[in-house]
């Protein structure tokens, strides 16, 4: 294989695309390069990530990790940090106009799951975090119809809720009114059994049965009497 061949093969590798294509990462949208390339958008993140520089280079697609030079442990740490940094940028990106557009597309396609409430008729949900600080709690899904929170499918339960943030669904639905469900769900009303009513109902039924039996017995007796007189 010539040098140019291996170069072009390496150029095809894109950390962000590979990450987003992985099973279990379907909730993440592709952050566009322009956003990631602006240092302004990344203010305050440097202090939060150990291998910030390397992770950012991977996300910006300007650095290929030379895996052979690094220990397996370090490669894993860098990978972990890159995912962490991507998540932190992601929570900022999805509240921008372009980010919301990309997430709205996933929402319409039902990628974030459907509401398990029977009366919501499989309403698509949106990802949400209970905290904006990372490493506090995992991702939840929000149903805009019944306005309740649910656990996502098993394979998404380890994702940090902060990668989606606490305000994303509300911002999305406020800026895109067409995405809001038309009607609230029908309310479930349990059938209440009143023991008093039930008792009277039962007593009446028993009385009715007894009366019917009495009438039947009388008829039977009359018939028998008739037969007896005929025989005589
Ligand atoms: Zn619902």
Per residue in 50-59, pLDDT tens?
999 999 999 9
- Cα 179 to averaged position of ligand 1 atoms, centre (Å): 14
pLDDT at 222 over 90: no
Mean pLDDT along residues 197-215: 81
Residue 201 banded pLDDT, cuts 50, 70, 90: confident
Contact 165, 94 (CB under 8 A): yes
Whether the Cβ atoms of residue 136 and residue 161 lie closer than 8 Å to each other? yes
pLDDT at 158: 97
Listed in sequence order, the DSSP H helices in 24-131 are 33-37, 52-59, 72-93, 97-108
- How far are the Cα atoms of 16, 28, 173 from residue 22, in angstroms, in the given order? 10, 10, 27
Mean pLDDT of 190-202: 72
The Cα-based distances of 16 to 78, 82, 115, 203 in angstroms read 14, 10, 29, 73
Threshold 0.95, pTM exceeds: no
Q: In this structure, are residues 85 and 110 in contact, taking their beta carbons and an 8 Å threshold?
A: no
> Ligand 1 centre and the CA of 120: distance in Å?
5
Three-state secondary structure call for residue 4: helix
The 3-state DSSP class for residue 18 equals helix
Helix intervals (H) in the chain? 3-11, 15-21, 33-37, 52-59, 72-93, 97-108, 168-175, 195-231
pLDDT, residue 40, reads 97
User: 191 alpha carbon to ligand 1 midpoint, in Å?
Assistant: 22
| Ligand 1 geometric centre to CA of 111 (Å) | 15
Dihedral-angle region of residue 34 (phi above 0 means left; psi in -120 to 50 means alpha; beta otherwise): alpha
What whole-number distance in Å separates Cα of residue 232 and Cα of residue 230?
5
Dist. CA 151 → ligand 1 center (Å): 12
> How many angstroms separate the alpha carbon of residue 123 from the centre of ligand 1?
6
DSSP 8-class letter at 138: B
Mean per-residue pLDDT for 120-128?
Answer: 97
- Residue labelled with tokens 């008093």: 196
Summarised one tens digit per residue, pLDDT across range 130-172 is 999 999 999 999 999 999 999 999 999 999 999 999 999 999 9
Q: How confident is the model over 93-118, as a mean pLDDT?
A: 97
């Amino acid at each position: 294989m010539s040098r140019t061949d291996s170069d072009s093969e390496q150029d095809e590798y894109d950390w962000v695309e590979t990450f987003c294509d992985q099973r279990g990462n379907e909730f993440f949208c592709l952050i566009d390069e322009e956003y990631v390339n602006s240092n302004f958008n990344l203010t305050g993140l440097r202090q939060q990530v150990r291998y910030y520089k390397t992770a950012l280079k991977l996300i910006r697609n300007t650095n290929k990790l030379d895996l052979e030079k690094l220990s397996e442990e370090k490669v894993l740490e860098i990978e972990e940090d890159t995912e962490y940094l991507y998540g932190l940028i992601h929570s900022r990106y999805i509240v921008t106009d372009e980010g919301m557009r990309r997430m709205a597309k996933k929402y319409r396609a039902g990628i974030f799951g459907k509401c398990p409430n029977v009366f919501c008729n499989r309403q698509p949900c949106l990802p949400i975090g209970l905290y904006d600080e990372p490493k506090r709690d995992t991702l939840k899904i929000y149903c805009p119809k019944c306005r309740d929170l649910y656990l996502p499918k098993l394979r998404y339960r380890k994702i940090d809720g902060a990668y989606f943030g606490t305000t994303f669904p509300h911002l999305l639905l406020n800026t895109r009114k067409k995405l809001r469900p038309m009607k609230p769900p029908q309310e479930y009303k349990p059938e209440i059994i009143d023991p008093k009513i039930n008792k009277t109902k039962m007593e009446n039924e028993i009385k009715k049965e007894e009366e019917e039996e009495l009438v039947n017995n009388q008829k039977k007796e009359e018939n028998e009497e008739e037969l007896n007189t005929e025989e005589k």
